[in-house]
Structure 1
Amino acid sequence: MQTKEVIFEEISYTPSDWRALRAYALKSISLSKIEDLYYFWCKPDSPQLKDGLERFLINMREDLISRAIIANPAIAQSLASFRQGGSTTDKALNTIESLARLPKAIAANSDHIAKWVRPKAANALLSHFDKQITLGQLIEIINERGFNWYLPVPKFGLFKAQKLVSWLHNNRATLAPLLDNALFPERKLPSNSLTLLSPASPRLVPFECIDLPEKLNGSVGLNRSINPAFIRARNDLEAIRAYLSMFAGKPPTLRSYTKEIERFLLWCILEARKPLSSVLVEDIQDYKNFLANVPANWQGKKAQRNSPNWKPFSPGGLSDESQKYAFERVKSCFEWLTSVQYLAGNPFIAVKAPEPIEREYAMQVEKAIPNDLYEKLIEILSAKDEPQARIALCAMLLMGESGLRRAELVSACRDKLKPYPALPGTYELQVLGKGRKLRTIPVSKRAIEAIETHFVDRRLDFDTPSPAPLLAPLVQLQMNDKDKLGYSADSIYKLLKRTLKTLIAQSLELSGEEKAFLIETTAHDFRHTAATNLLNKGAPLDVAQTMLGHKSSNTTAIYAKTEKTRLFDEVGKVFGG
């Protein structure tokens, strides 16, 4: 198999070839006459004559028609006869020749991929990503996804991916650069490998990969309690594990607390150069300053925890709110370690937590999608005959009408979705929410229809309850386990952001103002939308609280009418308007 099966070669047909094809297509003279007129100068082993002139002209015809159709699908029907060996018109030949010459000698980021990528490969990419995707946009996607970027693309395997990436890289002089993680497979660290942290050779690794030298492990830390501890921990790592074990049954909480504590532990060893159990008040103040100005080498794009590219912080550092959250999570760990007499005291109590600017409102309910815009999004996606669009539609409906959180959405399974006996034709879904609390919520009729269609795409029987996730990628890494492998909360977030980005770029139905609003829209805003619409349409507060899974009715009440709305209402009553 050759590279040319993925990327178009630059057209190198001679003027004689173009004249010969025209004569052959118009059937104006015989094949032998064409050879005598246009190829008398050719040697028997020339490309045109080596396998027979007719075979060369047929291949040339197919190559040019492929280029023309992928660049302008509207002419496909008019060229059907020519493709099958029938006659054609002089006008059609001129069209083919002009369209076939579309690829430029120099690739540009703004070029549509169909100008360079052969039809079979181009159609696979276009059906998965975007009908208008350019080379520059494709490079962005590849850089974001990394070496395995091609896995979700149907009928696009490793060979095609490598050939395409190689061609993009070879044209880096005029195209956006490809990152190393897109060019080379990611080298994974063994799951059982440990890294001995040392200020002398700093290396950022996640908590489960950390090993500490004796002088930094806290076994004789300055803040160790002289009283017997209530836990068996001999050093800081064991003490942290004891603390985190309390959240074993709450995966989101465990992930969140682990992230903040591993950041602090890494800072203690690599920046403060002391054990966690030796930090003093001045050190806590230094860490607070560190959170406000995270060094660039501590930041990086999201990567798997066993990847060498893993970093403790995302690009851009932490917001004011995130700094406060990070500070308080570590502070609570120290409070616990002090309460079980592992530590003698908690130095965090002498340092004030970061103070973010207090928001006007407790929650960003103003980010709820206006109902007219929400309905327009549903209508646009419902009209798309694309599997990826149908997955996004399911997610939007389940979050935007049933109020699911991302984590609840990705953990929802078919066997927890059941008809509601009291109202024929309606369904109820049991989900596991925050605090490991089960709740049952209604699912709209159009959400059920969307899920049924998604199950058809997955070749699964919707009518037979199973532990299959309600939403799952169509291309699985474990093909024999396709009924069990679903999305992660992060992948649903990316799917919705990617879908919104596509709609913003393509949809003529959306106004400029609506597109500007959607640029800032996130997955969680669909849950805001469900809550706001529910209460605005007259649903009782306790009903909304139950559906959303809020612990306090005060949280739900925020959606009923924001202070800002009340402010404008009252001022309007006084001054009119």
Structure 2
Amino acid sequence: MMPASQPPVVPIQLPRRRRGVTRRPLHRGHFGFLRAIVQGLHARAMWERYLLEEGEIEADAQLLADAVPDSDASPSIDPAARAFAAHPKVRRVTAWLRGELAAAALRANRPGLARRIKLDPKDFRRIGTPGAGLPSLEEFSAESGLDGFSESEQLAAYQEKYGDTLKRESRRARLMARQLEAIDWLEERYVQPVIAADACRAWLSAPLADRLEEAGIVTLADLLDRINGLGSGWTRSVRAVGAGKARMIEAFLDAHAESLGRAIGGHVAVPRRQRYAHELASVVPKSDSALVPLEKLVVPAALDGRDGSYRLPQARCLISAHNDYEAVLSWLRSKSGLAPEEVLRLRERRRDVGRSSGPYDWLQYLSHTQRAYRKEAERFLLWAVLERRKPLSSMNTDDCIAYRDFLGGPPAHWCAPRSRERWSPLWRPFEGPLDPRAQGYAITVLANLYRYLNDKGYLAGNPWGGIRAPRSAQPSLDAGRSFTAAQWAFICARLAELPTSSINQRLQVALPLLYATGLRLSEVVAAQTDDLEWLSLAGEDIGTTEDGWWLTVVGKGDKLRRVPVPDDVISRVVSYLQARGHSDGLAARGVALLGHATDQAERALWAKRDLADGGAPVAASTLYRQVKRFFTSCAADLRETNSRDADRLALASTHWMRHTHISHALAAGVPLQVAQQNAGHNSLDTTTVYVTTEDGRRIAAMRDFFRS
């Protein structure tokens, strides 16, 4: 009989583990596995059902060979099942579970319970069932010729023949029942739910936890974020964790989804190109206390600015915004956006067509300028709400200075790689500390935001007035971020040696196009066949003409300009268009000059076969990463022979092509005004920064002086 009063529950203390982990809790799967072992169920099936997070168990050939039936075992028991139960890992985990539960029972002043838990249940059997070694009463009566006798007489004969065996089996059944009762009693008091804040090491095997921690995955919340953020390929950044271990981890998380309060999203198993935008939008819920993108942020009522310190009466406001969030969106929407046809094309790419639109759907279809402005406003709003705990409309100059300092060193949990998309739980506002130039840009954008709110009668002042960026962040252009003629020649040589593939062919078109035109990244990915035009223009001499290809570009501030394109680059573009299936070449309408890879299915068998529209443009981020990887590869090839040039190539990006175009054009004698028009600069002063030939002559002259 159990005592009426229950002893106090004492947490299970486990042996000290590495890295300061002092305990490993028990979840319901541990109790389920031990209960199944007590009842003699197949150990492999029970292991895979309850304890797969302990690691998969391979069949042990030696154990299987040694698994011969003993004299006390039923011949119907599978030798492979016994071999699996005898596997060292299974025995070790089973012994650990019994030891922990026995220790818990002793701490609860239940020594009898502890003894029951330690009993070896391998020979527990139930009478009259296959594998027990005894015939049923009906079988015994038929074999003994007792069919015509009463049931009591049959039982008496049965007991006379199998009495000792029956007593032994009855005792085993009682012991099994009492042991199961002990496990049930301990489970009610000591089982712990698996929660997202728990360390992976608390639930997963030590070697597996080590590998996850090396990859920056410490808690189960981190693990869920990594899986939901990267999809089925989440293990690529984790050493020695393949598809099998990934399935095991995911099965463990699915089994405890209820106590975790979170689950692996259905999008994880869906190939990237088959995901719907609204499905991705549901991966991360809206939040008022987490680092989430602007469209997911819910500003608490106390911080939404309805009663901001510097708010003007709503009746004087020229915008319909009633809080700071709506005011920021009003400012963002006032900037030049995308054309309606471009929005429709993007909706088709995002697989959003046919779905009802929400009031903030326009945030998914922003122009380059709007995205850049959103990033700065988003960062400031998150900082104000989560760190400063003040509304935007209550910010004063001291707050703005504090934010300027914050930009120079945001905490690690505010930062993530650029590749983390906005729908992903791995997304963060920053990549890392901002350099002085980026800090200056952020201050300029935020000053613009507050100036807009002042002009519209929403706020009474601009706290950013008079705040200056660090001196090194004053507006300037680094003309040194360009390639020398020798470096560009080396890049061209490596470009020609690339293996044949669709993405390499795209790169072999993109770099010459960037070099010849000086386009910005956003401009080159937006360029279409419709923007190219052959023109015959009057030459300088009377009666002469100048023929050539021109590319119409919509640049910063929606400024329209035309840029000449050389014939050899046009030839590359035509060949590339034909390789993408556009046999008409430049006659094809509405086709992006730089598109998606067309051989993806051949290069990656797991990829979706029916790719996106062949006329759609490549994403700016995709082209940026491809160019960065190529320059990094060039730097590695050059490292042994010219380390200085290699260092420069390692730093290069797509924008270096724009600087190189202008610098090389001016050095070749192109008039300054022509270079300004091609680059789309507002002022000749901006273009003049790239005039390096005079500086080159100065350093050459001074070098002669230094030698003398």
- TM-score normalised to the size of structure 1? 0.63
The equivalent residue for 2:522 is 407
Shift, 1:203, TM fit: 0.3
Shift, 1:430, TM fit: 1.6
Shift, 1:259, TM fit: 0.9
Q: Deviations over 1:419-470 (max 9, x none)?
A: 3446798422222212212222222233223223322331222152321111
SS at structure 2 position matched to 1:347: coil
Shift, 1:478, TM fit: 8.7
In structure 1, distance between residues paired with 2:586 and 2:559:
27
In structure 2, distance between residues paired with 1:410 and 1:270:
36
Correspondences of 1:343-492 after superposition (within 5 Å): 343-349=459-465, 352-357=467-472, 362-387=476-501, 388-421=503-536, 426-461=548-583, 462-475=585-598, 479=610, 481-492=612-623
1:247 corresponds to 2:363 = no
The equivalent residue for 2:651 is 520
Amino acid at match of 1:456: Q
In structure 2, distance between residues paired with 1:323 and 1:409:
27
Shift, 1:418, TM fit: 3.0
In structure 2, distance between residues paired with 1:165 and 1:520:
24
In structure 2, distance between residues paired with 1:468 and 1:432:
16
Check the 8 A contact 2:624/2:654 in 1, yes or no.
Answer: yes
Check the 8 A contact 1:472/1:485 in 2, yes or no.
Answer: yes
Would the alpha carbon gap of residues 547 and 371 (structure 1) be closer, same or farther in structure 2, given more than 3 Å must change?
same
In structure 2, distance between residues paired with 1:541 and 1:369:
19
The equivalent residue for 1:323 is 439
In structure 1, distance between residues paired with 2:392 and 2:403:
12
Would the alpha carbon gap of residues 168 and 507 (structure 1) be closer, same or farther in structure 2, given more than 3 Å must change?
farther
Check the 8 A contact 1:321/1:356 in 2, yes or no.
Answer: no
Check the 8 A contact 1:189/1:308 in 2, yes or no.
Answer: no
- TM-score normalised to the size of structure 2? 0.52
Check the 8 A contact 2:638/2:645 in 1, yes or no.
Answer: no
Amino acid at match of 1:452: V
Correspondences of 1:54-93 after superposition (within 5 Å): none
In structure 1, distance between residues paired with 2:622 and 2:611:
21
Check the 8 A contact 1:204/1:312 in 2, yes or no.
Answer: yes
The equivalent residue for 2:629 is 498
Would the alpha carbon gap of residues 463 and 286 (structure 1) be closer, same or farther in structure 2, given more than 3 Å must change?
closer
Amino acid at match of 1:220: D
Would the alpha carbon gap of residues 369 and 510 (structure 1) be closer, same or farther in structure 2, given more than 3 Å must change?
farther
Check the 8 A contact 1:194/1:210 in 2, yes or no.
Answer: no
1:225 corresponds to 2:347 = no
Number of positions where the alignment pairs a residue of Structure 1 with one of Structure 2: 413
Amino acid at match of 2:446: V
Check the 8 A contact 2:304/2:325 in 1, yes or no.
Answer: yes
The equivalent residue for 1:267 is 383
Unaligned runs of 5+ in 1: 1-138, 140-145, 152-157, 174-179
Structure 2 residue corresponding to 1:336, chosen from 435, 452, 472: 452
1:538 corresponds to 2:669 = yes
Unaligned runs of 5+ in 2: 1-214, 216-225, 246-263, 339-366, 538-544, 601-607
Amino acid at match of 1:458: R
Would the alpha carbon gap of residues 362 and 288 (structure 1) be closer, same or farther in structure 2, given more than 3 Å must change?
closer
Would the alpha carbon gap of residues 562 and 280 (structure 1) be closer, same or farther in structure 2, given more than 3 Å must change?
farther
Check the 8 A contact 2:529/2:586 in 1, yes or no.
Answer: no
In structure 2, distance between residues paired with 1:148 and 1:470:
33
In structure 1, distance between residues paired with 2:658 and 2:690:
11
The equivalent residue for 1:169 is 241
In structure 1, distance between residues paired with 2:639 and 2:405:
47
Shift, 1:281, TM fit: 3.0
SS at structure 1 position matched to 2:550: strand
In structure 1, distance between residues paired with 2:378 and 2:473:
28
Check the 8 A contact 2:521/2:655 in 1, yes or no.
Answer: yes
The equivalent residue for 1:235 is 323
Q: Deviations over 1:292-323 (max 9, x none)?
A: 22111111112211211111111x32112212
Q: State the identity %.
A: 29
Shift, 1:510, TM fit: 6.9
The equivalent residue for 1:3 is none
Would the alpha carbon gap of residues 297 and 313 (structure 1) be closer, same or farther in structure 2, given more than 3 Å must change?
same
The equivalent residue for 1:101 is none
Amino acid at match of 2:290: R
Q: Deviations over 1:479-522 (max 9, x none)?
A: 46432322122221111111122333457997444323311221
In structure 1, distance between residues paired with 2:497 and 2:369:
39
Shift, 1:472, TM fit: 1.1
Q: Deviations over 1:215-273 (max 9, x none)?
A: 22111112212472222211111111111121142722211111111111111111111
In structure 1, distance between residues paired with 2:423 and 2:700:
54
The equivalent residue for 1:208 is 295
Amino acid at match of 1:429: L
In structure 2, distance between residues paired with 1:328 and 1:464:
43
Amino acid at match of 1:371: A
Q: CA RMSD in A?
A: 3.9
Would the alpha carbon gap of residues 191 and 427 (structure 1) be closer, same or farther in structure 2, given more than 3 Å must change?
farther
Shift, 1:574, TM fit: 6.9
In structure 2, distance between residues paired with 1:493 and 1:538:
30
